């Protein structure tokens, strides 16, 4: 919907944009963005007062949204019927190209409607008349701010404020430039000055309170919220919710409850308010009060999903009380799938398998193909008729469009595996891998040949306290389970190499192996590139647990002489189990596979490097063997404790169930050549030959 509105605004179809925005608001009255875009559309249509009202409605839903505050600032510029003024300004500049003020006002209006290219054009035109004019600096700074160029925005707006110290619009933009740089104290002062110039500033006062909270000054934040709530327009559900959240953070659940009760009375289905309420009740041990309050809300508004979820959260999981709440939920919302799914889970927890299956069939009757219901039906069929379970999954796959079928093939393979059909399971898994291969990463390269001589390992320099730990494991090693436990124990863990914004260092780059071999990348430069990225990854002291995307022993040519304080932890399982798990469940990094033979050959090369590293003790390291404990949170925590001499938490779960250790033997008939290829390195790593 947003894209359609933008397109309409760009071609000056304001009526169409307003119609689209009104439709969005009607369908999503609680969505701040819907109100925001209605305000922009109304402004272009010429309804400035209505645009301001829509923007205020958006701010009531999202008082902390920076873009909404900027939009409101632009609309305040338009408070004197600037729709007509915009037309007059256009005519004025057409008649007299030397009208500086007209250009400036047009540029501000262009910024307000998010036409940044037009704002820049107008600023450049006006700059021919008055270079370095403070209003033009303000326009250029605001454009830079909207484009995320925080340093440029801060420089321009600071220069503008020096010449216009009492201009609320410029101060407002400067505050957000400070905010983008996370200079919260400076941002707070800029916004306070705006409030001084334009009282009462209810929503801005709330934003200032949030800045105080971000700086750890909860008492100041709470006091600021008292001022907001005392304003004639300030006592709104959003402000009550914010005040309640601050009280919770300050450890005052009773005071929080007083605010949150008022918020939920107006917003009974608001997820954030309900979450805060549940937290307050839990801290107070006020289960009875929670039941009474939520039941009263449900008596008047019984069709809100999040309200029912909150009511269910009050009861013991899986108990009779929870079942009673779910049954009430279904009376109010008879075909609501999340309620049916909750009832299905409760039946399973209570050991009522037939009842759970019956609910699953109700689910797929409401929505054919719903995975939660289909999976439960297949689970039931596996217990009594495995071929029927396989046929059920196959029929579901066949019912989907061709391009959607691939996502269900791993499930089909798992069902075939549990039905005792390893050949069919392997075929399904490999079909999935081949379908996905064009969209995946190539296998990481390995140095050919592997180095045979190593530089001396340097002594750890005096005064170096950092002890970075690199963690890696080949596909199928379940490294991600180790990382999950480590991350729960310490904020030093970085798994950003597997995310959307990985570090730009040599340890991320596939070409590093070849560049080291050719001399294009020096040993010291590799380590320096890694260190240079640490501050950007939030690591100030060098102590980091860095989950590597790939490993190659050639890296030791850099690490031995230039990072002797580092350590390496390698997740390991029987290589034949690792191969099977890789084929069945994939890997944390989406690696392209064409055949089991390709996977086995690559895995053998990697694990031969691990064996050499371990046998020759080429770098401080530990092999973390997960055989037999992959699905045991307590055992994994104990393994890490023994390895590092520190306490690690026991997680509720380590993730979904995977093929158990030693299952490779069940696949010896279909993966015999590949297992034979891996057996020598398995023996080197301490595993049995057969």
Please report the pLDDT score of residue 85 as a whole number. 42
Please report the pLDDT score of residue 98 as a whole number. 56
What is the rounded average pLDDT for all residues in the chain? 89
How far is it, in rounded angstroms, from Cα 596 to Cα 589?
17
Range in 4-8, 551-555, 560-564 with the lowest mean pLDDT: 4-8
Please report the pLDDT score of residue 170 as a whole number. 83
> Among 648, 645, 644, 646, which residue's Cα sits nearest to residue 636?
648
pLDDT tens-digit series, residues 631-678 = 999 999 999 999 999 999 999 999 888 999 999 999 999 999 999 999
H or E segment to which residue 623 belongs? strand 621-625
pLDDT tens-digit series, residues 326-370 = 999 999 999 999 999 999 999 999 999 999 999 999 999 999 999
How far is it, in rounded angstroms, from Cα 174 to Cα 69?
12
Please report the pLDDT score of residue 495 as a whole number. 96
Please report the pLDDT score of residue 69 as a whole number. 60
Beta-bridged to residue 623, according to DSSP, are 570
On the question of pLDDT at 614 being above 50, the answer is yes
On the question of pLDDT at 242 being above 90, the answer is yes
- Do domains 1-64 and 280-439 share one topology? The answer is yes
Q: What would the mean pLDDT of 92-101 be, rounded to a whole number? A: 56
Q: Around Cβ 439, how many Cβ atoms within 10 Å?
A: 9
Query: At 493, is the pLDDT very low, low, confident or very high (cuts 50, 70, 90)?
Result: very high
Please report the pLDDT score of residue 10 as a whole number. 75
Domain 75-181 sits in CATH 1.25.40.10: yes
On the question of pLDDT at 213 being above 90, the answer is no
Q: Which residue has the higher pLDDT, 72 or 572?
A: 572
Quickly list DSSP for 305-332. HHHHHHHHHTSPTTSHHHHHHHHHHHHH
Domain 280-439 sits in CATH 1.20.1250.20: no
How far is it, in rounded angstroms, from Cα 17 to Cα 303?
31
Ranges of each domain in the chain: 1-64, 75-181, 280-439, 469-684
Please report the pLDDT score of residue 181 as a whole number. 85
CATH of 1-64, one of 2.40.50.140, 3.90.1170.50, 3.30.70.360, 1.25.40.10: 1.25.40.10
CB 172 within 8 Å of CB 157:
no
On the question of pLDDT at 83 being above 50, the answer is no
> What contacts 568, CB < 8 A, 6 or more positions away?
469, 470, 471, 472, 613, 619, 620, 621, 622
Alpha carbon distances (Å) from 247 to 56, 149, 234: 25, 35, 17
Beta-bridged to residue 494, according to DSSP, are 546
Q: What percentage of the chain has pLDDT greater than the value 70?
A: 94
In angstroms and rounded to an integer, the radius of gyration of the C-alpha atoms of the chain is 31
Please report the pLDDT score of residue 61 as a whole number. 85
CATH class of 469-684: alpha beta
Query: At 527, is the pLDDT very low, low, confident or very high (cuts 50, 70, 90)?
Result: very high
How far is it, in rounded angstroms, from Cα 469 to Cα 480?
15
Query: At 96, is the pLDDT very low, low, confident or very high (cuts 50, 70, 90)?
Result: low
CB 293 within 8 Å of CB 263:
no
Please report the pLDDT score of residue 573 as a whole number. 98
Please report the pLDDT score of residue 294 as a whole number. 95
> Among 495, 523, 530, 492, which residue's Cα sits nearest to residue 509?
530
Please report the pLDDT score of residue 623 as a whole number. 98
In the chain, % helix, strand, coil (3-state, to 5) comes to: 65, 5, 30
Please report the pLDDT score of residue 82 as a whole number. 45
> What contacts 285, CB < 8 A, 6 or more positions away?
none
Exposed/middle/buried for 517, CB within 10 Å: 0-12, 13-18, 19+?
A: middle
On the question of pLDDT at 77 being above 80, the answer is no
Please report the pLDDT score of residue 119 as a whole number. 80
Query: At 200, is the pLDDT very low, low, confident or very high (cuts 50, 70, 90)?
Result: low
Q: What percentage of the chain has pLDDT greater than the value 90?
A: 63
On the question of pLDDT at 84 being above 60, the answer is no
Please report the pLDDT score of residue 55 as a whole number. 82
pLDDT tens-digit series, residues 21-69 = 898 888 888 888 888 888 888 888 878 788 878 888 887 888 766 566 6
SS3 462: coil
pLDDT tens-digit series, residues 405-450 = 999 999 999 999 999 999 999 999 999 999 999 999 999 999 988 8
Alpha carbon distances (Å) from 221 to 243, 263, 275, 510: 9, 18, 20, 48
On the question of pLDDT at 73 being above 60, the answer is no
Q: What would the mean pLDDT of 135-145 be, rounded to a whole number? A: 84
């Amino acid at each position: 919907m947003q894209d359609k509105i933008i397109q309409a605004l760009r071609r000056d179809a304001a009526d169409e944009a307003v119609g689209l925005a009104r439709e969005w608001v009607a369908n999503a009255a609680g969505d701040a963005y819907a109100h925001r875009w209605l305000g922009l559309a109304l402004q272009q249509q010429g309804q400035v007062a209505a645009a301001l009202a829509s923007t205020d409605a958006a701010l009531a839903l999202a008082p902390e949204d920076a873009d909404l505050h900027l939009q409101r600032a632009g609309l305040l510029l338009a408070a004197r019927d600037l729709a007509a003024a915009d037309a007059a300004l256009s005519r004025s500049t057409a008649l007299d190209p030397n009208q500086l003020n007209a250009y400036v006002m047009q540029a501000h209006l262009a910024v307000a409607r998010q036409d940044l290219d037009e704002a820049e054009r107008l600023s450049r035109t006006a700059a021919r008349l008055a270079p370095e004019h403070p209003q033009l600096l303000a326009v250029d700074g605001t454009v830079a701010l909207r484009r995320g160029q925080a340093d440029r925005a801060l420089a321009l707006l600071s220069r503008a404020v020096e010449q216009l110290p009492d201009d609320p619009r410029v101060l407002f933009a400067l505050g957000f430039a400070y905010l983008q740089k996370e200079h919260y104290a400076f941002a707070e002062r800029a916004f306070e000055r705006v409030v001084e110039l334009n009282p009462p500033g209810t929503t801005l006062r709330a934003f200032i309170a949030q800045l105080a909270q971000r700086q750890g000054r909860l008492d100041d934040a709470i006091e600021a919220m008292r001022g907001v709530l005392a304003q004639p327009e300030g006592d709104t559900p959003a402000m009550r919710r914010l005040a309640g959240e601050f009280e919770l953070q300050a450890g005052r659940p009773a005071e929080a409850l007083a605010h949150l009760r008022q918020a939920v009375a107006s917003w009974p289905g608001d997820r954030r308010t309900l979450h805060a309420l549940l937290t307050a009740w839990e801290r107070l041990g006020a289960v009875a009060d929670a039941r009474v309050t939520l039941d009263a809300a449900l008596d008047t508004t019984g069709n809100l999903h999040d309200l029912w979820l909150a009511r269910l959260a009050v009861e013991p999981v899986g108990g009779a009380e929870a079942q009673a709440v779910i049954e009430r939920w279904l009376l109010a919302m008879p075909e609501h799938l999340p309620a049916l799914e909750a009832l299905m889970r409760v039946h399973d927890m209570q050991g009522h398998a037939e009842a759970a299956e019956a609910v699953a069939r109700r689910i797929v009757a409401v929505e054919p193909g719903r995975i939660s219901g289909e999976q439960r039906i297949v689970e039931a069929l596996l217990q009594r008729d495995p071929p029927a379970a396989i046929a059920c999954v196959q029929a579901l796959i066949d019912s989907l469009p061709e391009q959607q079928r691939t996502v269900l093939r791993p499930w089909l393979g798992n069902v075939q595996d549990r039905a005792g059909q390893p050949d069919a399971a392997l075929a399904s898994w490999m079909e999935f891998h081949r379908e996905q291969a064009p969209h995946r990463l190539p296998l990481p390269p390995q140095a050919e040949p592997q180095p045979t001589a190593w530089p001396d390992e340097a002594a750890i320099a005096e005064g170096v306290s950092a002890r970075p730990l690199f963690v890696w494991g080949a596909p199928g090693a379940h490294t991600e389970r180790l990382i999950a436990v480590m991350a729960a124990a310490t904020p030093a863990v970085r798994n950003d190499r597997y995310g959307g914004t990985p570090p730009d260092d040599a340890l991320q780059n596939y070409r590093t192996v070849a560049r080291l071999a050719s001399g294009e990348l020096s040993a010291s430069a590799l380590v320096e590139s890694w260190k240079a990225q640490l501050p950007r990854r939030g690591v100030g002291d060098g102590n980091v647990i860095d989950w590597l995307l790939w490993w190659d022993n050639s890296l030791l040519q850099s690490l031995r002489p230039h990072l002797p304080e580092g350590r390496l932890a390698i997740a390991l399982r029987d290589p034949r189990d690792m191969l099977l798990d890789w084929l069945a469940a994939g890997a944390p990094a989406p690696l392209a596979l064409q055949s089991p033979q390709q996977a086995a050959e690559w895995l053998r090369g990697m694990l031969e490097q691990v064996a050499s590293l371990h046998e020759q003790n080429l770098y401080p390291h530990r092999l973390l063997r997960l055989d037999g404990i992959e699905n045991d949170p307590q055992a994994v925590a104990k393994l890490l404790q023994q390895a590092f001499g520190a306490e690690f938490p026991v997680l509720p779960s380590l993730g979904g169930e995977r093929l158990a250790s030693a299952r490779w033997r069940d696949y010896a008939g279909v993966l015999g050549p590949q297992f034979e290829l891996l057996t020598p390195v398995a023996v080197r790593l301490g595993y049995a030959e057969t």
